[in-house]
């Protein structure tokens, strides 16, 4: 197998998607390894998950930096020092500067709990329910300067039930995220997909990667 891609993960909180990536990286033939986890929140639960998996961690608290540029420069320096090749935002709740986004262009993934481009931003589950949607899901996409925007690598769909609250829907979507993120990272890390004209294609350059949809619960 070719060398595993060195992955950095950015978190702000619970880190359940980080855990899904950690679990996937344990598989011998998985094309990526996590070499660094950075949190901007000192108490983030995800840091404990990384430590338990013996992955180096750093806290880079945005509050310690006068500008967003300075904060992103510190992130970038830590990632570069650790020879990170691919970057995964996993519940990282800060917007990046345009310079940082450009530097990591097409090497930087994000997970969002809706079927983008619908319901960007916060409180997506509340808005999905209020809109009367029958289907929601999650998206893994390459990061661009606009929030929750960028070429879509993979999506998974789940039903929205009449009885759903934002919490029950979030739980169902989160489970799909945990399947989808490792799948999408593997596609990117193995070089199975690439970006062309702000769309993601497989290596045939003919077809877009098929929708990945875990079985509905
Ligand atoms: C996840 O649901 C993720 O999709 C969302 O935050 C949660 C983090 O959970 N991210 C965003 O809303 C980014 N726009 P986790 O810390 O347990 O992975």
Binding site membership of 91 for ligand 1 (Cβ less than 6 Å): yes
Return the structure tokens found at 10.
């950015």
pLDDT tens-digit readout, 165-192: 999 999 999 999 999 999 999 999 999 9
C-alpha–C-alpha distance, residues 199 and 208, integer Å: 8
> Do 201 and 125 lie in a common domain?
yes
Single out the residue in 75, 104, 133 at which a domain terminates.
Answer: 104
Residue 58 C-alpha to ligand 1 middle, in angstroms?
19
Tell me the chain's radius of gyration from C-alpha atoms: 17
Summary mean pLDDT of the chain: 93
Binding site membership of 111 for ligand 1 (Cβ less than 6 Å): yes
> Do 146 and 47 lie in a common domain?
no
> Do 39 and 92 lie in a common domain?
yes
Residue 111 C-alpha to ligand 1 middle, in angstroms?
7
Return the structure tokens found at 78.
């830590």
Q: Is residue 212 pLDDT above 70, yes or no?
A: no
> Strand pairing of 108-112 and 135-142?
antiparallel
> Do 117 and 28 lie in a common domain?
no
* Number of domains, the chain: 2
CB 125 within 8 A of CB 137: no
Which atom in ligand 1 lies closest to the alpha carbon of residue 11?
16
Domain extent, residue 84, equals 1-104
> Do 133 and 153 lie in a common domain?
yes
Binding site membership of 148 for ligand 1 (Cβ less than 6 Å): yes
SS3 label, residue 158: strand
178 is catalytic: no
C-alpha–C-alpha distance, residues 136 and 210, integer Å: 17
C-alpha–C-alpha distance, residues 53 and 38, integer Å: 14
> Do 209 and 121 lie in a common domain?
yes
pTM for the model = 0.94
Report the candidate in 53, 46, 96 with the shortest Cα–Cα distance to residue 71: 96
Single out the residue in 42, 76, 104 at which a domain terminates.
Answer: 104
pLDDT tens-digit readout, 17-65: 999 999 999 999 999 999 999 999 999 999 999 999 999 999 999 999 9
Single out the residue in 83, 104, 125 at which a domain terminates.
Answer: 104
C-alpha–C-alpha distance, residues 136 and 172, integer Å: 10
Q: At what angle do helices 16-25 and 45-52 cross, to 10 degrees?
A: 20
> Do 142 and 96 lie in a common domain?
no
């Amino acid at each position: 197998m070719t060398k595993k891609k060195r992955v950095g993960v950015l978190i702000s909180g619970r880190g359940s998607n980080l855990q899904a990536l950690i679990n996937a990286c344990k598989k011998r033939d998985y094309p990526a390894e996590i070499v660094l986890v950075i949190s901007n929140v000192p108490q983030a639960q995800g840091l404990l998950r990384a430590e338990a998996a013996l992955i180096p961690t750093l806290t880079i608290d945005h509050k310690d930096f006068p500008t967003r540029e300075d904060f992103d420069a510190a992130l970038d320096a830590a990632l570069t020092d650790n020879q990170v090749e691919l970057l995964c935002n996993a519940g990282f709740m800060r917007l990046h500067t345009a310079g940082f986004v450009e530097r990591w262009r097409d090497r930087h993934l994000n997970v969002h709990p809706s079927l983008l481009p619908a319901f960007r931003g916060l409180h997506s589950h509340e808005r999905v329910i209020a809109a009367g949607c029958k289907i929601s899901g999650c998206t893994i996409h390459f990061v661009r300067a606009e929030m929750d925007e960028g070429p879509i690598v993979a999506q998974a769909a789940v039903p929205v039930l009449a009885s759903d609250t934002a919490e029950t829907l979030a739980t169902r979507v989160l489970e799909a995220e945990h399947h989808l993120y490792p799948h999408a990272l593997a596609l990117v890390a193995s070089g199975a997909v690439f970006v062309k004209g702000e769309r993601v294609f497989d290596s045939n350059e003919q077809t877009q990667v098929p929708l990945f949809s875990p079985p509905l619960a």
